[in-house]
Structure 1
Amino acid sequence: MIKNYFKIFFRNLRKQPTYSLINIFGLAVGMASSILIFMFVQHERSYDQYHEKADRIFRVSRAWYNQDGAISLHLGHAAPPFAPLLKSDFEDQIEEAVRVMNTTVIMRDEEKVFKEERFFFADPELFKVFTWKLLKGNPADALSFPDGLVISASMAKKYFGDKDPMGRALELRIGSELYNGQVRGVMEDIPDNSHFQADFFASMEPVVDFYGGYEAMMANFGSNNFATYLLLEEGVDPDEIGGQLPDFIDRHIAASGQGIPASKGTQLFLWPLTDIHLYSNLDSELEPNSNIEYVYIYGAIALFILLIACINFMNLATARSAKRAMEVGLRKVMGADRQLLVKQFMGETIFMTVAALVIAMLLAWFALPYFNNFTGKDLSLNLIDHPEYLAGFVGMVILVGLIAGSYPSLFLSGFQPASVLKGTYKIGSIHEKLRSFLVVGQFAISIGLIVAVLVVINQLEYMKNKDLGFEKKEIAILPAFEEFSNNISFLRERWMQHPGIEDVALASRIPSGRLLDSQGTQAEVDGEMTSINTRIADVHISHSFFQAFGMEIIEGRDFDILLASDSSESFILNESAVRAIGWASPEAAIDKPFIYGNRRGQVVGVVKDFHFESLHQPISPMVFMIPDTRINQVAIKLSPTGREEALAYLRDEWLATRPDYPLEISFVADKFDEQYEAEEKVGAIFGFFAGLAILISVLGLFGLSAYATEQRLKEIGIRKVLGASSLNIVSLLGKDFLKLVIIGFIIAVPLAWIGMSKWLENFAYSITVSWMIIAISGCLAVLIAAATVSSQSYRAALVNPVETFKKE
């Protein structure tokens, strides 16, 4: 029977090659797109699942609250005491607690010097929690040694070549400090589906020394730089621990001066390890994570494209039904029942789907390198490494076969033999309406995707071009060291003599970074010193900071280098901080007593609000002060005309000052753009797959219009004899299809409007879904459809009526 189905499939392929190829290629393109998206989604959902104890590993995050109970800051990091204290307080429920802290180091081995950013200090219990196999060394004690260092296989090859790295020394420079590490272990490279990547793990001992010893470190609840992970005992409910965390906080952190329990201002949360990549987008993460919403969106796009391809199949199969009506009639006369015919047509569909799958896999294989380059993944179609793909492909064939073949098989098998053999059988209006409905559905999906593409593009343009309240162009960023901080006045004066350098400033954080630093605040409000229960982020800057960035002081004055008191007693606030404190105006803030952390003084100026962070976040209340420490970045305002010369000059200056530290110059404008990479990818994916959806829809419309034109050749010939022009013929044949496209547009508009308005809620500052975007999407769809239908209609209009009548 299967052999017979196979013969019939190839017989029809030879008889109707154009329509068969349209169907197969349409299915193939849809399936290829779905294969790529399926691989991407499967990879996204696989993060951290390779750990043997993944279901028992939880990360600790820490949040702070405003007085109204709203979260003002939520970090994926915690303070150093929490891990050992949690292990001690919940010893029957927590098997292990481990901390890791990321930093950037300069690594030296003989003559090789490299800047390594995937360097982590870690507790000795690291390999008891995570399943990272050590190729050499003992995982139980590799990080117990004060100089212990575990490196990845790639780093072992990079630094030591084919030599045995065990016991070899590496010199580490962190800031101005030098350490010596000894390789105590070599681990396999961490899989790419991990929520963070590491090339080096070092003993935590240097960090303990940095904090001033173990006791000082255990008393520091303000330095939230540690990613903290808990391995729960088997059978322990994490919610049970979570419910006890407020009491845990109050046991270990003292209440405020007003007697408010610490748990009212800060709290800890437990995150399942396997949820971090898709569900955790906190104010600090070890690496940028993805978003489950985008996974759902990509999955929906894959299903939509498959659906469009299946609709093509159904439309073309039913439209060509008259060609097979006689076959069905004869089979029924010879004794074939409807069930047998359904099996036959479904079998043909399955064969066609398998053929489409083969082509789809080839298309996906060719497209995969470009897809990987775009997504930053290392996906592979290797079925040996990914046997789950095979199950997915089989499932796709069955799903597509059932969706694409069900209606045509039921439709074709329902022909009445008597009507068919008499030549009086006609396709019912209900089937014509259903086919029209399917075309409407196709273009509604395509138009919806076009709207999404245009919205994303416009939002990206808005974010990149919005006035941030300062001049972001031509500002270069260099890391700052003690040599810079101690000699900034001299260096600034010398560097500004170069015609390509307009200004130089220092800061603890540069615009485009996250505002993660804050301390307790008190201010005089209505004549009394009042504790401010809203988080005010701090930025430590040099005197020239506002000038270098072109920020506007709208009240009071800037810091004055000639006033020594400005370095210890003066504060400048932004407008948002003035409002958060409760002062009536920027003018009212000037000279008001102000306490921030341990510093007492007064407000000397108010700077106009500007966007320090990306447009995902609203403008935060900020306080600026001149520090004696915590300066770690240099901002250099370059002249547009002397940019390259200035950069070359800075490299020479750097080499003379820090010859042992590789220089990497970044730019504020680029840093802001990098924060929108996720949206860039969404826009590109929408654009690519919207294009494919339109392509598939156009293939179907091409096939339907070609068939409709073929069915009306005699009518066209008569109309031409009676004087109809080619334009009349094109209009006659095209108007019905264009009506369907317009109906699809009307359906797509409200759905796309709602969906993209929801997406724009992810941004504190965004565009609106304008009617211009909607109109452009509709016009684009109508033009594409018109061009497709008109091409067939125009060909028919050019046929000589004599030739048509000869055939008839």
Structure 2
Amino acid sequence: MLKNHLKIAWRSLIKNKLQTSINLLGLTVGTVCCLVILVYVNAQFGYDQHHDDASSLYRIRTKIKTDNSSLDSDMAAASPPIAFAMKEDFPEVIDACRIVYFGEESSQLLRVSDSDDSYYVSRGYVADSTFFSFFKYPLLEGGNPKELLKAPNNVVLSSKLAQKLFGNTKALGKTLILGAGEQQQDITVTGVFKEGENKTHLQPNYVLSMASPGIGEFVRSVDNYATQNFVFSYLKVVPGANVAQLEKKLPEFLQAGGADDLAAIGFEKTLLLQAVKDIHLYSKGIDAQIDNVSNIEYLYAMLLLAFIIQLVACVNFVNLSTARASKRAKEIGVRKVIGAERGALIKQFLNESVLLSLFALVISIPLATFLIPGMNGLTGGNLAFADIWNLKILGLLTAIGVATGLIAGIYPALILSSIKPAKVIKGMVNINLGSGNLRKGLVVFQFVVSIGLVTAVLIITQQLKYAQSKDMGFDKENVIAIKLGTQEAQTRYTALRDELMALSRISEVAGTNNYPSARIMGDLGIHLPGQNP
């Protein structure tokens, strides 16, 4: 029976080529949009699930508010001593790990000791020796993860950076030079990890031991609980520990260790704990993130958008099918006369719509694959073709295809199967196609959603154009920022400025510690002496 229904459905689709093409186009466009959105949303889940004891890992959040409300922030970092002080004070905390990272723009000069080639390398972390026991990265070179960052000047490289610096030779035990001038230090490679194997909010190019001179030494020396909130601090708690109860102890802990510091600076400070598994999707309103994060509310909105687009495609199918019902009146009348029951006709029409929906599904997969690079450019994501050829996505897409066929086909099937043979034989082509109000409502719904989506796109486009063309107070198209990354280069700034000013196509030269829009990790306000902060 099913084979017979499929044959009839196929012949019907081939016979009505124009209607089939229009329906197929509508369903394909809807399915492509739905698929691309599903792939993107699915890629945003599963972050930091792969770490050993992932459910026991938490990050310390810091809320700061001043008495005069000049500062009111919620940040993903904390003061340097807090994490290990919590380890000492609370039995629920097994271990702690701190990370110092100043953003993508804080690249450091790095070169192999026996080479003259130097590279500015971004995403360099300075971390405690517990980093690789907290967070799981496949090691290509190196031994015990707990020993990799134990000694001063130890560094662990990503496989891409190791390949860039050493080619195909082993990096383990090699010496690198970090920085230049008085800040220069020799560092030893103690390991190489494979990056990109799992989804995580921590994506370093290299990790330097916190025991090293420089920023690591500074972090270790700070004992102030109020300020210097630039250290990303993580805790590993006892499995099954009541984290909510632990949070309730933190105000007393903070007062015991930093009451004087807080009073001196005028801060009202609150410490909170956030599960590492929740960082990527549930960090709305939390500033100073170590890396880009998503927002679960946006993902829900995108899923709703995908549903609406697919629903519009279904409504389009319904409208076209019911509008052409009279074309199939004779077929239905003849089939009923020779004994076809209404249930069999409903199955037949549903088979047609499901078959058409599955065709649209098959076509949408290569089209969505072609659109992946554009989606990455639009969202800043890193989707790959493998994200589409995912069993979970393909299974869900198949279910959507079948559901779309059933939803799109059920109303036309009920209407078409209700046609009376006697009316067809008498030539009454003005067949009652059911509630006119329902069909009109579907048309109105289709136009309202379409106009709404087009309007939203136009508004967003205009907002982006406004933001890009807004007067920033300077001609940003003609300003170039040049990083002087070594102490030697910085001491020669005056000579460099004079040489640049001698060029006819340069009108002005200025030097600054940070260029406009650069990320600055700071929590101290600036005010005139004796005046209101």
Deviation at 1:595, TM superposition (A): 9.2
2:357 and 2:317 mapped to 1: Cα distance? 10
Contact 1:208 / 1:217 at 8 angstroms: preserved in 2?
A: no
1:193 to 191, 199, 203: 199
Q: What amino acid sits opposite 1:167 in the alignment?
A: G
Instruction: Please tell me whether residue 275 in structure 1 is matched to residue 278 in structure 2.
Output: yes
Change (3 A) 1:507 1:265: farther
In the TM superposition, 1:679-694 aligns within 5 A as none
Residues 392-412 of structure 1, C-alpha deviation per residue, up to 9 Å, x if partnerless? 112211221222111111111
Give the conservation status (yes or no) of the 8 Å contact 2:349–2:409.
yes
Q: Displacement, 1:186? A: 1.4
Provide the secondary structure at the position in 1 that maps to 2:510.
strand
- The amino acid of 2:309's aligned partner reads I
Larger-Rg structure: 1
Residues 268 and 491 of structure 1: CA distance in aligned 2, closer, same or farther (over 3 Å)? same
Q: 1:77·1:228 contact (CA, 8 Å) conserved in 2?
A: yes
Secondary structure of the equivalent of 1:86? helix
Distance 2:370 2:492 in 1: 56
Counterpart Cα distance in 2 of 1:295 and 1:256: 41
Q: Give the AA of the match of 1:243.
A: K
**1:144 and 2:150 aligned:** yes
Out of 177, 180, 183, the position equivalent to 2:186 is 180
> Match of 2:152, as an amino acid?
P
Does residue 1:334 correspond to 2:338, yes or no? yes
TM-score (norm 2): 0.89
Contact kept, 8 Å, 1:329 with 1:415, in 2: the verdict is yes
2: CA distance, partners of 1:154 / 1:41: 27
- Given that 1:283 and 1:514 are in contact with CA atoms closer than 8 Å, whether structure 2 keeps it comes out as no
CA deviations on 1:496-524 (whole Å, 9 max, x unpaired) are 444444444343433323565343xxxxx
Q: CA deviation at 1:220?
A: 6.8
For the Cα contact (< 8 Å) 1:63–1:71, is it kept in 2?
no
- 1:121 is paired with a residue whose SS is strand
Correspondent of 2:306 among 302, 308, 316: 302
Query: Hey, what's the Cα distance between the residues in 1 that align with 2:495 and 2:384?
Result: 55
Q: How does 1:18-167 map to 2 (within 5 A)?
A: 18-67=18-67, 72-90=72-90, 92-102=91-101, 104-109=107-112, 110-138=115-143, 139-167=145-173
Stretch deviating more after TM superposition (378-387 or 2-11): 378-387
Q: Distance in 1 between matches of 2:44 and 2:523?
A: 34
* Aligned-residue offset at 1:142: 0.9
CA change 1:119–1:9 in 2 (3 A) is: same
Instruction: Give the direction of change, closer, same or farther, for the CA distance of 1:257–1:518 in structure 2 (3 Å limit).
Output: closer
> What CA distance in whole angstroms lies between the structure 1 residues aligned with 2:433 and 2:320?
16
Assess if the C-alpha contact under 8 Å between 1:122 and 1:203 holds in 2: yes
* Residues 1:11 and 2:11 aligned together: yes
- What's 2:268 paired with? 265
State the one-letter code of the partner of 2:20: S
Single out whichever of 204-213 and 368-377 deviates more from structure 2: 204-213
**Corresponding residue SS for 1:423:** coil
Instruction: Give the distance between the partners of 1:427 and 1:69, measured in 2 at CA.
Output: 71
Residues 214-253 of structure 1: pairs in structure 2 closer than 5 A: 214=220, 216-219=221-224, 221-253=226-258
Counterpart of 2:176 in 1: which secondary structure?
Answer: strand
Deviations 1:555-581 (A, max 9, x none): xxxxxxxxxxxxxxxx5xxxxxxxxxx
Structure 1 415/71 Cα, relative in aligned 2: closer, same or farther at 3 Å? farther
- 1 CA distance for matches of 2:181 and 2:462? 41
Partner of 1:691: none
How far residue 108 of structure 1 moved from its aligned partner, in angstroms, is 0.7
Residue aligned with 2:120, SS: strand
Return the alpha-carbon distance in structure 1 between the equivalents of residues 139 and 389 of structure 2: 22
Alpha-carbon distance in 1 for matches of 2:427, 2:501 = 92
Superposition deviation, residue 126 in structure 1: 1.2
Q: Distance in 2 between matches of 1:47 and 1:471?
A: 40
Maintained 8 Å contact 1:96/1:230: yes
- The match for 2:512 among 507, 516, 529 is 507
Q: Which secondary structure state, in structure 1, belongs to the residue aligned with residue 442 of structure 2?
A: helix
1:312 pairs with 2:281: no
What is the rounded CA distance, in whole Å, between the counterparts of 1:361 and 1:515 in structure 2?
Answer: 43
Deviation at 1:152, TM superposition (A): 1.5
Percent identity (aligned): 33
Unaligned runs of 5+ in 1: 520-535, 539-570, 572-591, 597-808
Query: How far apart in 1 are the matches of 2:407 and 2:225?
Result: 61
User: In 1, distance between residues paired with 2:25 and 2:314?
Assistant: 12
The offset of 1:205, in angstroms, is 1.1
User: What letter is aligned with 1:337?
Assistant: E
Q: CA deviation at 1:3?
A: 0.6
Aligned residues of 1:278 and 1:291 also touching (Cα < 8 A): yes
Q: Equivalent residues in 2 for 1:207-606 (5 A)?
A: 207=213, 211=217, 214=220, 216-219=221-224, 221-255=226-260, 265-280=268-283, 282-382=286-386, 386-424=390-428, 426-428=430-432, 430-469=434-473, 472=476, 474-480=478-484, 482-483=487-488, 492=497, 495-514=500-519, 516-519=521-524, 536-537=525-526, 593-594=530-531
Task: Show the counterpart of 2:176.
Answer: 170
Q: Deviations over 1:463-500 (max 9, x none)?
A: 23334455645333233554566566666556544444
1:537 shift after superposition: 4.9
Shift of 1:225: 2.4
For residues 7-36 of structure 1, the C-alpha deviation after alignment (integer angstroms, 9 at most, x for no partner) is: 111111222111011111221121112111
**How many angstroms does 1:217 deviate by?**
2.8
CA distance in 1, matches of 2:187, 2:218: 20
Q: Which residue of 2 aligns with 1:756?
A: none
| 3-state secondary structure, aligned to 2:381 | coil
C-alpha RMSD of matched pairs (Å): 2.9
How far apart are residue 120 of structure 1 and its match? 0.9
Cα 1:340–1:254 change in 2 (3 A) is: same
From the superposition, tell whether residues 595 and 232 of structure 1 become closer, same or farther in structure 2 (CA, over 3 Å).
same
Name the residue aligned to 1:750: none
Letter in 1 for 2:270: Q
Distance 2:292 2:245 in 1: 29
TM-score, normalised to structure 1's length? 0.60
* Contact 1:60–1:227, Cα closer than 8 Å, also in 2: yes
Q: Answer yes or no: is the 8 Å Cα contact 2:10–2:352 preserved in 1.
A: no
Q: State whether residues 32 and 363 of structure 1, in contact with CA within 8 Å, keep that contact through their aligned partners in structure 2.
A: yes
Tell me how far apart the structure 2 counterparts of residues 65 and 221 of structure 1 sit (CA, whole Å): 11
* Secondary structure of the corresponding residue to residue 282 of structure 1: coil
Q: Are the counterparts in 2 of residues 80 and 221 from structure 1 also a CA contact under 8 Å?
A: no
- State which drifts further: 280-289 or 449-458: 280-289
Partners of 2:55 and 2:363 in 1: how far apart? 39
1:776 maps to what in 2? none
Counterpart residue type for residue 395 of structure 2 = A
Q: Distance in 2 between matches of 1:386 and 1:71?
A: 46
1:98–1:229 contact (8 Å) kept in structure 2: yes
Structure 2 unpaired stretches of 5+: none
Task: Give the deviation of 1:210 after TM superposition.
Answer: 5.5
